[in-house]
Structure 1
Amino acid sequence: MANVDKAKSLSSLLNGIAQKVYYSNTEITEELLKNELYPDLSQEEFHLLHDKMKALLKSIATADMDHSQLEAFLTAQTKKQGVGGVSSEQAVALSHLWKTQRVRVRESLLSQSCWEPGLRGLSWRVDLHTASSQRNAFDSGPVALLEMELGRTGQDSEFVCLELDDAKLNQVLRKMTDIQESIDSIVHHC
């Protein structure tokens, strides 16, 4: 019976951590989890357990581990000796939580990492003026028309239209190249 209670407490601890970290449930605190689930542990012992489970869950979530990756990770963790390792009961609880909440945790992480407003769509075309449709000499070149659909989660889209001549279009393309090079340099240094 004690093992069942221990497993339930560990499962509830992991659920509480997930609620706090991934689902922004501000009612869940470390103190609440300790008092409700592990009243017999000292504050220091609980803090170590809490931080260890939180770190393991973050590692699993950050890597978005599939079933085989999770099993390999947890097997390696159970083979560690001392403070860094996990017990087989902890591995089972972590595995169960991840199998039941992987999709929801992933969606939460994605929503937390998105910039708002976001680009929902982009369409473009190039218009050429014919000799008979020219209004003046300035309008004689091609014109790029860009339409961007921007929006925040849960709100209607806004549309922004840009009209760019050849020089402005080349300027925009150079800026986009600079941005891509900056992103590439950051990614390659990580």
Structure 2
Amino acid sequence: MAAQLSAKSVLGVLNGLSRRLYFGDESMTDEFLREQVEYGGSIEEFSAILKRYESLLVSIAAAHMEFTQLQAFLSSQTKKRENPLSEDDVPVLQKFWKSQRTKIHEALVRRSHADGQLTDLSWRIDVKSKARNLDQINQPTAIVEMQIDQSVGKGREILRFEMDEQHTKDMLQHINDIQTQIDKFTK
């Protein structure tokens, strides 16, 4: 039978697993976690313990559980016939989730943006004072810069472009069409 982990060790395991699962910290190996919590049992027993906590953490994070949902979930886990959750682990999991819920949710959201996310938009209006054609002189042009954070590990991309009056009107119409469609789904 596997030895029971102390509350401090359970919290350490949960923090290590969350760093590995949601924040890409590959240094949080099973062996490293075992050393950190000074587990005295076999490697196989510790692997089973990690698997149990990982399963709980994945379920909790995937559902982005509120506190009342978490309480009900953990209560049901303590009543399971096979491999029930210890009553001593419940407050530790609650404490962990209370402090890490937002961070883990944000990490999951960041990970779900496959093509990047717009993080900054800036613009200015320039008036051309020189041009090949006289009809282009004194015409306003919008210069737009968009900063896009790429998915995890790919950095940032900066996109710059110019738009004349007609292109700006066309783009605004497209944005209004998008807003109309979003409004339809949110009502």
- The TM-score bracket by the shorter chain reads 0.5 to 0.7
Q: In angstroms, what is the RMSD of aligned CA positions? A: 3.8
Number of residue equivalences:
151
**Residues 1:162 and 1:150: Cα distance change in structure 2 (over 3 Å):** farther
Find the counterpart in structure 2 of residue 32 from structure 1. 32
**Residues 1:19 and 1:119: Cα distance change in structure 2 (over 3 Å):** closer
Structure 2: tracts of 5 or more residues without a match: 122-143, 165-169, 175-187
| Letter of the structure 1 residue corresponding to residue 97 of structure 2 | W
**Residues 1:121 and 1:26: Cα distance change in structure 2 (over 3 Å):** closer
Q: Cα distance, 1:92 vs. partner?
A: 1.8
Find the counterpart in structure 2 of residue 68 from structure 1. 68
Q: Secondary structure at the match of 2:6?
A: helix
Find the counterpart in structure 2 of residue 11 from structure 1. 11
Find the counterpart in structure 2 of residue 49 from structure 1. 49
User: What does 1:146-161 align with in structure 2 at a 5 Å threshold?
Assistant: 151-152=148-149, 155=156, 157-159=158-160
TM-score by length of 2: 0.64
Q: Secondary structure at the match of 1:88?
A: coil
Q: Cα distance, 1:18 vs. partner?
A: 0.9
Distance between the aligned counterparts of 1:75 and 1:9, measured in 2?
Answer: 21
Q: Secondary structure at the match of 1:26?
A: coil
TM-score by length of 1: 0.63
| Letter of the structure 2 residue corresponding to residue 158 of structure 1 | L
User: What does 1:157-168 align with in structure 2 at a 5 Å threshold?
Assistant: 157-159=158-160
Q: Cα distance, 1:159 vs. partner?
A: 4.9
**Residues 1:9 and 1:119: Cα distance change in structure 2 (over 3 Å):** closer
Distance between the aligned counterparts of 1:51 and 1:15, measured in 2?
Answer: 14
> After superposition, what is the alpha-carbon deviation per residue over 1:56-92, rounded to whole angstroms, capped at 9, x for unaligned?
0010000000010000100111111222x21112222
Find the counterpart in structure 1 of residue 88 from structure 2. 89
Whether contact under 8 Å (1:20, 1:26) holds in the other structure is yes
Q: Cα distance, 1:11 vs. partner?
A: 1.0
Residue identity over aligned pairs, in percent, reads 30
Find the counterpart in structure 2 of residue 23 from structure 1. 23
Q: Cα distance, 1:35 vs. partner?
A: 1.9
Structure 1: tracts of 5 or more residues without a match: 123-146, 164-168, 174-190
> After superposition, what is the alpha-carbon deviation per residue over 1:25-63, rounded to whole angstroms, capped at 9, x for unaligned?
122111111122143111111001000100100100000
Looking at secondary structure, tell me which structure has more helix per residue.
1
